[in-house]
Structure 1
Amino acid sequence: MCTVCGCGTSHDHDHGHDHAHGHSHGELHFGHGPAGAQVAGMSQARLIEIETDILSKNDRFAAANRQVLQARGAFAVNLVSSPGSGKTTLLCKTIEALGDQPLAVIEGDQQTANDAERIRATGAQAVQINTGKGCHLDAHMVGHAMEHLDIAPGSVLFIENVGNLVCPAGFDLGEDCKVAVLSVTEGEDKPLKYPDMFTVSKLALLNKTDLAPHCDVDLDLYEANLRRVNPGIEVLRLSARTGEGMREWIAWLRGNLGRKVPQAAE
């Protein structure tokens, strides 16, 4: 269910004709207008109405999730990325590096429990959410998953979202922050192509840096493009395979958790 079309939500079609705006060099842009998107047979006003309705309902569930996590002093991270960026491998290595730190994991995929099984193999508790044709997690799904987890005081809750750099950007799950994971093989212009995701992310992890010498990739340009769309974004370079940058990533997690726990005690 996406904010721009309300897929999965019944709606009436009107017959406004909002057309793409053409530019030079054969480009067609369908992102103009107040809604920032176009759907055949639907006006901009109707798109905005649907988006507002969907997100307002989601935000109520997100607020409830956030209240539960705040009461327990738990730090929740929404991991977002393209498919194949290395989120699950990174998460397994992160769990190992955190040692006896209380934590829990929610895995999101359209099908299979493969990733949850990999997480459970580390000894961590995990719940798998299958979204079917859905392209992202929402706060209602996450709330149900939280009910099946023992989220101890002072825990870290990792939410591994469905691999998608578009739809998850618009949905608050009740997390403290979004962390975007990018493989260095995806190309330095990825932040420019999918700016919404990186605009809402607090941290970007440039993963698989061990592959950088074998790829035509400029990591400095990667970082520059991230900050071009989000000047305040933090960036860490790491490799889950070699361990490069893992110390800084773990320190980042512990630092943010440390700031969250005192708030819960107040």
Structure 2
Amino acid sequence: MCRVVDLQQAVLAKNDASAHTLRAEMTARGTAVVNILSSPGSGKTALLERELLLARERSVPVAALTADLATENDAARLARSRVPVKQVLTDGLCHLEAAMLGGHLDGWLPDDTRLLFVENVGNLVCPASYDLGETLRVVLASVTEGEDKPLKYPTAFGLAHLVVVTKTDIAEAVEFDEAAFRSHVEQVNPGVEVVLTSARRGQGVGTLLDRALAAADGAPLHEPVMARRTDAPHHSPTHTHTHTHSHAGATAHTHP
């Protein structure tokens, strides 16, 4: 008789255990982790750079870790904020995992860090299933991506504590339908806050920092309905992600 082993659940269960440990460690040291998810090209690096600059102006101790399959371009941009920045190259892996994140923080993250912003790999499928031990999960979508993005990626949007719309300065040009987008978000994640931003014009800049600081101070978070339907804090029972790539070779580079 053949025994069927659910590798997906085994992988996610192992990650959940690592996330639980990392969350406890970060909480004990007084650091809140903000996990930022989006598609490639959504503008998350541009917005995050503005948020880091603002945090530095306010004397908030922050750091940022950014993950990509290749290149250190994003870390170089974020380093202009003059806060601690680390680039993680995943060597083809399409997402970060809790154990991987924890390994890269060891010996690098300053002791007084209040907020750690994690810019996940540009992808709305794989990263959605992996809890990173975060305090706050944020999903971004640009106005160029279409109003139906939340319906196409219900796990990513359905598990978010906060949804951020980027590039609103060109919303009119691309005929972005804000009402339709908000309606679609509401369908997959009722009650979640939707914030409109433009890194170029400054609209909404500072809101992400404010929400992250509030979460760090213990303010109640929006509870996604999808999260209530499963034992795992960030997993949807309907998600069918099955990647089991090895990430032992992932490398990291620190920018002063």
TM-score by length of 2: 0.80
The alignment status of 1:198 with 2:157, answered yes or no, reads yes
Deviation at 1:151, TM superposition (A): 3.5
Aligned residues: 216
Q: State the distance in 2 between where 1:221 and 1:88 align.
A: 25
Counterpart in the other structure of 1:83: 40
Describe the SS at the equivalent of 1:246.
Answer: coil
Counterpart in the other structure of 1:116: 75
The alignment status of 1:101 with 2:57, answered yes or no, reads no
Measured against aligned partners, the alpha-carbon deviations of 1:136-156 in whole angstroms (never above 9, x if no partner) come to: 011111001111423434610
Q: How does 1:1-266 map to 2 (within 5 A)?
A: 45-46=4-5, 49-98=6-55, 99=57, 100-153=59-112, 155-259=114-218
- RMSD between aligned residues: 1.7
Q: Which runs of 5+ in 1 are unaligned?
A: 1-13, 15-42, 261-266
Q: State the distance in 2 between where 1:113 and 1:257 align.
A: 28
Deviation at 1:62, TM superposition (A): 1.0
Bigger relative CO (Cα 8 Å, ≥ 6 apart): 2
Q: State the distance in 2 between where 1:79 and 1:246 align.
A: 15
Measured against aligned partners, the alpha-carbon deviations of 1:156-213 in whole angstroms (never above 9, x if no partner) come to: 0001000000011110111112100110110000000110101111100001100101
Measured against aligned partners, the alpha-carbon deviations of 1:73-115 in whole angstroms (never above 9, x if no partner) come to: 1111100000000111111000111122101111110011111
Q: State the distance in 1 between where 2:206 and 2:23 align.
A: 28
Q: Is the CA contact (8 Å cut-off) linking 2:47 and 2:205 kept in structure 1? A: no
The one-letter amino acid of 2:134's match is: E
Q: Is the CA contact (8 Å cut-off) linking 1:79 and 1:160 kept in structure 2? A: yes
Deviation at 1:132, TM superposition (A): 1.3
Q: Which runs of 5+ in 2 are unaligned?
A: 220-256
CA radius of gyration, larger in = 1
Q: State the distance in 1 between where 2:77 and 2:206 align.
A: 22
Percent of matched pairs sharing the same residue: 39
TM-score by length of 1: 0.77
Q: Is the CA contact (8 Å cut-off) linking 1:110 and 1:162 kept in structure 2? A: yes
